[in-house]
């Protein structure tokens, strides 16, 4: 500071004198010592105190993060059995051979499975089976479109297309008959139309069978309530959003978004913004799924969703004139119409209470009943197309189903026999034309 003469004068802190020690300790103590209570020391203490508090908070946050990562409900990943592919979105891996050592429920765990595909991902009987795109003269070709109910079984011959091929070759010995398995596990009917347009028509089928309904009518309860959207479309949207965020958001923001603790606190502070997260204890695997109670209460949604699903049947029929095939539309069987059997299976699989489970079954039944009603109306509009409603065909369900939608290997032969009985006139007419 400045003194009265304008000169700089140092500010010396007032000394604090310690009491003089006793005579016994005087020699050891020596001359009196003085300490100074400097502001710098107080600042250091404050900084040290803040560092201790900050370290404690960070340590607690890390401990909470570790605890939540180990004790949070198990995240349920979306199943994905295919490879991404343009236009159809995904399809089976091409030129693949899969021979697992384990057995599966579809064969009652009695026989091993074998899966082989060609260059377009179609399932074929053996690794080097010849399925040319150019149809040989005189050959009758039938193509199956659909999801896992078409693609899956222990072997090609025990799958639905292979079962129908066995029946046709037995009924028409000496004839050249080929049945194509163009099923895509987990696909919806709109994807089957894309599969038809961009791949299947190149094989020049005489008859095209669209065998679907299970995924289209079941997805609103599990993954996706938007009609004709693939089950994993919302996952692709989220992946794209994350891809952009990683290049736009700062690192601290990305770390925060991935924090279990942050998600827990945010869910508590903003419950209305909470997004359904896939867990082993939650029946919903997708943020666009609808509660069964909402589907039951909204008849307009049921009607519009079913109409959007069946619009793909109309596309299949209308495209038949351009590509010269006979269309066959089949609503797949369902095993959820018997609550005494279906309810316990759902409760075990999705950890739901009985009331919620019964609502699920009621919602599924409403969707299937509406589909059957609209299919009956379509018969008059398209008299040249074949329509088969198999929703309640397999009864009792415990004899044929190994879950609520998939059937045993031997049950595929039962369904194939029913399909053949219904389309026999078409088969015989196209068989004569193919000669």
User: Per mean pLDDT, which range of 128-137, 273-282, 406-415 is the poorest?
Assistant: 273-282
Same domain, 67 and 165: no
Same domain, 401 and 315: yes
> What gap in Å lies between CA 405 and CA 411, rounded to an integer?
12
CB 211 within 8 A of CB 406: no
Same domain, 297 and 188: yes
User: Per mean pLDDT, which range of 71-75, 143-147, 240-244 is the poorest?
Assistant: 71-75
Same domain, 201 and 309: yes
Same domain, 205 and 294: yes
- What's CA 368's distance to the chain center, in Å? 21
142: number of Cβ within 10 Å = 25
Q: State both tokens at 280.
A: 């082993």
The pLDDT-based confidence of 351 (bands split at 50, 70, 90) is: confident
Question: Domain for residue 179, yes or no?
Answer: yes
For the chain, give the number of residues.
435
pLDDT, tens digit, 9 for 90 and up, residues 187-201: 999 999 999 999 999
User: Considering its fold, how many domains does the chain have in total?
Assistant: 2
Between 313 and 291, residue with greater pLDDT = 313
Same domain, 207 and 300: yes
pLDDT, tens digit, 9 for 90 and up, residues 115-155: 999 999 999 999 999 999 999 999 999 999 999 999 999 99
| Whole-number pLDDT of residue 35 | 52
Q: Is residue 183 classed as helix, strand or coil in its secondary structure?
A: coil
Q: Is residue 408 classed as helix, strand or coil in its secondary structure?
A: coil
Same domain, 423 and 293: yes
Q: Over 80: is that where the pLDDT of 113 sits?
A: yes
The predicted model gives 161-187 an average pLDDT of: 96
User: Per mean pLDDT, which range of 30-34, 84-88, 281-285, 340-344 is the poorest?
Assistant: 281-285
Domain boundary among 71, 95, 117: 71
Domain boundary among 71, 92, 118: 71
> What distances in angstroms separate CA 110 from CA 58, 102, 107, 123, 402, one per listed residue?
55, 10, 6, 22, 13
The pLDDT-based confidence of 53 (bands split at 50, 70, 90) is: confident
* Domain that residue 216 falls in: 138-231+289-434
Same domain, 59 and 143: no
Question: Domain for residue 148, yes or no?
Answer: yes
Predicted TM-score (pTM) of this structure: 0.79
Question: Domain for residue 279, yes or no?
Answer: no
Question: What are the strands, taking DSSP E only, across 166-222?
Answer: 177-181, 207-212
Cα Rg, the chain, nearest whole Å: 35
Share of residues in the chain with pLDDT > 90 (%): 58
User: Per mean pLDDT, which range of 51-55, 201-205, 279-283, 370-374 is the poorest?
Assistant: 279-283
Question: Domain for residue 300, yes or no?
Answer: yes
Q: Over 60: is that where the pLDDT of 2 sits?
A: no
Transcribe 386-405 into DSSP letters. Answer: EEEE-TT-S-SHHHHBSSSS
Question: Domain for residue 143, yes or no?
Answer: yes
| Whole-number pLDDT of residue 65 | 76
The predicted model gives 3-28 an average pLDDT of: 50
Same domain, 161 and 66: no
Same domain, 405 and 327: yes
Question: Domain for residue 52, yes or no?
Answer: yes
Between 265 and 6, residue with greater pLDDT = 265
- Indicate which CATH number applies to the domain containing 225: 3.40.50.1110
162: number of Cβ within 10 Å = 23
Q: State both tokens at 139.
A: 């050959």
Question: Domain for residue 175, yes or no?
Answer: yes
The predicted model gives 334-357 an average pLDDT of: 84
User: Per mean pLDDT, which range of 148-157, 195-204, 342-351 is the poorest?
Assistant: 342-351
| Average pLDDT along the chain | 85
Q: Over 60: is that where the pLDDT of 422 sits?
A: yes
Question: Domain for residue 244, yes or no?
Answer: no
Same domain, 294 and 201: yes
> What distances in angstroms separate CA 90 from CA 31, 86, 368, 413, one per listed residue?
90, 7, 26, 28
Same domain, 66 and 207: no
Domain boundary among 71, 86, 117: 71
> What gap in Å lies between CA 152 and CA 123, rounded to an integer?
9
């Amino acid at each position: 500071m400045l003194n009265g003469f304008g000169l700089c004068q140092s500010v010396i802190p007032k000394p604090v004198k310690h009491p003089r020690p006793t005579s016994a300790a005087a020699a050891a103590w020596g001359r009196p010592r003085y300490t100074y209570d400097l502001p710098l020391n107080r600042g250091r203490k404050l900084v040290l105190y803040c560092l201790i508090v900050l370290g404690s908070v960070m340590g607690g946050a890390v401990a909470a993060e570790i605890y939540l990562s180990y004790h949070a409900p198990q995240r349920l990943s979306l199943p994905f059995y295919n490879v991404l592919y343009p236009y159809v979105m995904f399809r089976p891996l091409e030129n693949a051979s899969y021979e697992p050592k384990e057995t599966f429920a579809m064969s009652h765990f009695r026989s091993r499975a074998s899966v082989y595909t060609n260059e377009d991902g179609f399932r074929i009987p053996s690794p080097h089976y010849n399925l040319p795109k150019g149809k040989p003269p005189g050959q009758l070709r039938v193509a199956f479109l659909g999801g896992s109910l078409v693609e899956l079984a222990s072997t090609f011959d025990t799958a639905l297309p292979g079962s129908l091929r066995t029946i046709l070759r037995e009924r028409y010995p000496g004839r050249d008959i080929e049945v194509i398995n163009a099923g895509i596990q987990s696909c919806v009917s709109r994807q089957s139309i894309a599969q038809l347009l961009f791949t299947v028509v190149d094989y020049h089928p005489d008859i095209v069978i669209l065998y679907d309904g299970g995924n289209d009518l079941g997805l609103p309860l599990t993954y996706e309530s938007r009609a004709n959207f693939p089950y994993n479309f919302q996952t692709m949207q989220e992946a794209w959003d994350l891809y952009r965020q990683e290049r736009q958001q700062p690192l601290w923001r990305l770390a925060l978004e991935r924090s279990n603790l942050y998600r827990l606190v945010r869910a508590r502070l903003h419950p209305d913004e909470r997004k359904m997260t896939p867990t082993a204890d939650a029946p919903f695997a997708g943020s666009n799924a609808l509660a069964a109670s909402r589907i039951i209460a909204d008849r307009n949604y049921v009607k519009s969703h079913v109409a959007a699903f069946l619009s793909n049947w109309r596309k299949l029929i209308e495209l038949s004139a351009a590509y010269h095939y006979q269309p066959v539309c089949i609503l797949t069987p369902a095993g959820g119409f018997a609550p005494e059997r279906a309810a316990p299976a759902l409760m075990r699989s999705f950890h739901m209470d009985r009331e919620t489970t019964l609502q699920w079954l009621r919602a599924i039944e409403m969707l299937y009943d509406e589909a059957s009603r609209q299919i009956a109306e379509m018969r008059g509009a398209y008299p040249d197309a074949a329509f088969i409603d198999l929703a309640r065909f397999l009864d009792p369900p415990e004899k044929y189903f190994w879950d609520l939608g998939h059937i045993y290997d031997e049950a595929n032969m039962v369904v194939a026999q029913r399909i053949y009985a219904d389309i026999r006139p078409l088969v015989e007419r196209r068989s004569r034309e193919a000669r």
